[in-house]
Amino acid sequence: VKRTPEAGFDLTPMIDVLLLLIIFFVLSAQFAQAVRKALPLPTEPGEKASEAGPHTLMIDIDKQGEMSAGGTRMDLDGLKLTLRSQVKQVGGPDKVETIVRADKDASAAHLNKVARALSEAGIRNWKLATSGEATK
């Protein structure tokens, strides 16, 4: 009686691919965190910048009013263009998750410009990041 060998399934290549994907996503999440520069945020209870998801648009405003989105420095027109492309990319202004990180010593006029740009892009729901350490 001649026995035919049983067919087997080797999981090793699939496990290798899975591990590579995990490494890729962990590293890309770390790079997204590294893009953010240190800003002294207002010390009020609120949205912590570290609670942002992977698809969150992070807008930084420094003390002089210089803006950056996603680690790229830009002027107000560049921010408006970025916001419009973000709205298109995610499928509507209601789906855009935006956190604004403003230096605690920045003028409110700079924050108002960003708020106006968000409104013009149709983004009505955005968050202002704070350090989360409320002073009493």
pTM: 0.65
Burial class (CB in 10 A: 0-12, 13-18, 19+), 50: exposed
Query: What does the pLDDT look like over 81-126, one tens digit per residue?
Result: 999 998 898 888 888 888 899 999 999 999 999 999 999 999 988 9
- Mean of the per-residue pLDDT values of the chain: 83
Residue 130, strand partner residues: 48
Cα angle: 43, vertex 48, 51; to 5 degrees: 175
Give dist(CA 42, CA 37) in Å, integer. Answer: 15
